[in-house]
Amino acid sequence: MRDVAIIGVGANPKWGELWGRSLRDIFVEAALAAMDDAGVDRIDSMYVGCMSSGLFAGQEHIGSLLADYLGQRHLPATRIETACASGGVAVKMAALEVASGHADVVLAGGVEKMTDVGGADATYALGTAADAEYECYHGATFPGLYAMIARAHMDRYGTTAEMLAQVAVKNHDNGALNPMAQYPFKITAERVLNSIMIADPLHILDCSPITDGAAAAVLCPLETAKKLTKKQPVKVAGFGQATDAIQLAQREDMTWLESTAQAAARAYEMAGVEAKDIDLFEVHDCFTIAELVVMESLGLVGKGEGGKATLEGRTARDGDIPVNASGGLKSKGHPVGATGVAQVMEVVKQLRGEAGDRQIKDAKRGLTQNMGGSGGSSVVHILEVA
């Protein structure tokens, strides 16, 4: 297997409610930005992470659609779906294709156009990432499922609403420095705690937003990367993916994400590193509680210690385990299928030293963790300066 590098990343310039832009518009903007960043005008293959273009936009078969609109008609193009982990898995599939030698220049994209439907329909569409017959049937929503994780975490570890709020505060502090963020402004814990309740104990400011957005990365063999681009190549040092019971009720431990733990174990082993060797983390904070449980499941802190670590500032940009320097899903936005690719984009920019005001000093190695459903799928990448 060949070593794989990422040589270009891009996104549509501003995430948010993009009333004037279609699914194909935002994807093509992101893909062109990544190809321009890499300095390539042809690709050999393409993977697109997308959770639910069918329910959000009435459009399936987007591999064909997007390859054509990208000016790459006849390209092998495949949509990847692992709920909100679709983007991360698209990157993994692209890396595998390059590593295998089957293709040389592969684009990994992610896209979600979410605002063409109303709030209740969006809630329903996202809900399909849960067990349709035994969770959604009873009126479960994603905020609701994570709220139940939060309640269990509070009951077991004494995690507080203030700790959850601090995740949002920290991520908005970071996102305020990210030009593409949907909500690039600071918030206070008081504002989080006084915002309306969506699913107790989660307030609306504990939740990531509904977002239109796309992101893309261009991958190629590490040995040819330097020929293709003048920029600092970033090596895909490790990746791992795992699943767990889709139903929260059937997990062994509702305060733990076994899919994340197992995906991370594979990635750490492949990269030959441990959590302590990593300089920054982009993790799936679809809800504030998710960031805490993910940190614990990645081994950044002990079980039940995520909230305390956050309150102590350890996860801030200048902390010892910087988490979500990009602003995370919370501030940057969460176009579900694009999120995993955008996490990779942030780490690439950080490793290249291109992260501007939110740059983590001397970042040499970063980790992304992207999650589907209430933890039914997880994918982890470890990237490092080549």
Q: Which of 138, 227, 230, 276 binds other proteins (CB under 8 A)?
A: 138
Rounded CA-CA distance 245/374 in Å is 9
Which of the residues 235 through 254 are near other proteins (CB under 8 A)? 247-250, 254
Measured CA distances, 169 to 15, 79, 108, 166, 204 (Å)? 19, 34, 31, 5, 13
198, 278, 286, 316: which one binds other proteins (CB under 8 A):
198
197 in contact with other proteins (CB under 8 A): yes
# residues near other proteins by CB under 8 A: 35
Question: Of 33 and 55, which CB lies nearer to other proteins in the complex structure?
Answer: 55
The residue from 12, 82, 86, 141 that contacts other proteins (CB under 8 A) is: 141
CA-to-CA distance for 261 and 243, rounded, in angstroms? 10
The smaller minimum CB distance to other proteins, of residues 49 and 127, is found at 127
Taking the complex as a whole, how short is the minimal distance between the CB of residue 298 and other proteins, in angstroms? 22
* Residues 285, 158: Cα–Cα separation, whole Å: 20
Greatest alpha-carbon span in the chain? 55
Two tokens, residue 155: 């009951």
In this structure, are strands 106-112 and 45-49 parallel, antiparallel, or unpaired?
parallel
Q: Which is nearer to other proteins, 1 or 120 (CB)?
A: 120
Contact between 298 and 321 (Cβ < 8 Å) = no
The residues annotated as belonging to the active site are 84, 334
Residues 254-273 that bind other proteins (CB under 8 A): 254
By CB under 8 A, residue 20 contacts other proteins: no
From residue 62 to residue 101, what is the string marking binding to other proteins with x (rule CB under 8 A)? ----------------------------------------
In DSSP notation, 157-205 reads H---HHHHHHHHHHHHHHHTT-TT-SS-S---HHHHHHSPEEETTEEGG
Residue 120 touching other proteins (CB under 8 A)? yes
Q: What is the C-alpha to C-alpha distance for residues 32 and 41, in angstroms, rounded to an integer?
A: 9
Question: Which residues form the interface with other proteins (CB under 8 A)?
Answer: 119-121, 123-124, 127, 133-141, 143-144, 147-149, 151-152, 155, 196-202, 247-250, 254
